[in-house]
Amino acid sequence: MGAKVISGKEIAKKKRREIADEVRALREENIMPGLAVILVGNNHASKTYVNNKEKACAEVGMESFLISLPEDVSQQELLKKIEELNKREDVHGILVQLPLPDHIQEKSVIEAISPEKDVDGFHPLNIGRMMTGQDSFLPCTPYGVMIMLEETGIEISGKHVVIVGRSNIVGKPAGQLFLNENATVTYCHSRTRDLGYHTSQADIIVAAIGKPNFIRSSHIKEGAIVIDVGINRDEHEKLCGDVHPEVADKASYITPVPGGVGPMTITMLLFNTLKAARQSKSVLHNA
């Protein structure tokens, strides 16, 4: 029969239309949501991501500010630039494109961004709020996954969710968001013994391990829902996810690569920037 495809591309389109409507309404109140992106160096993949973010901002009517800094910029200079953006009223969201050069401490950079402008959802304050179920900016990729399931009408409460991967950007926060929705969560990673034992019990699998075509049919139970967060190149340099195509014959739902989780990540970044602009409006009103 084959799995039903959860199209992130289609859901992202719908969400971006909604965001564009809200941006228009804010602009009528003289508030122009603005996203500042800092790009350090000439990493080709990073440049592509940044271009996509700029296009997405234009699509929904947001301002975007690109700050390009040289590869050898000092950490002090970068932190100074972030401090300037923290103070700018026309910038509601700040994003520093990762990865950063080795001489710059990622942790210091993330912590320098004002939590009110941390639209990536990586600041410890936002992570802490997410952990305790408070309102916060949620990390964009896991947030996108939750919206995809919600839009598809998939019930999460009571389900067993297995997360394969434990990165701070996807794996860990994804597990917490599922837990917040009353799922039972198991984390698996490179040190997990007998991975297949755990994944084959999952109602929902989130593959975020960064290995091409790693999850096979033998890893999942019949009818499982499979979310593929991976973006890799296979041995033929073809774009692929962490989940092997054969899994589609056994799963009930699956996300494609490309066109699955990817478009949702940037969409939730736009959503977080809109939310930050809205919050800045209420701060102005209460001042």
Catalytic residues, which ones? 53, 97, 120
Is position 209 annotated in a ligand binding site?
A: no
Is position 252 annotated in a ligand binding site?
A: no
Helix axes 8-28, 44-60, angle to 10 degrees: 60
CA gap 75, 117 in Å, rounded: 20
Nearest residue to 186 via CA among 163, 206, 209, 207: 163
Helices (H), 29-74: 44-60
Is position 166 annotated in a ligand binding site?
A: yes
Nearest residue to 129 via CA among 180, 92, 93, 87: 180
Is position 74 annotated in a ligand binding site?
A: no
Cis peptide before 263 (omega within 30 of 0): no
Binding site, annotated residues? 165-167, 231
Binding site, annotated residues for NADP(+)? 165-167, 231
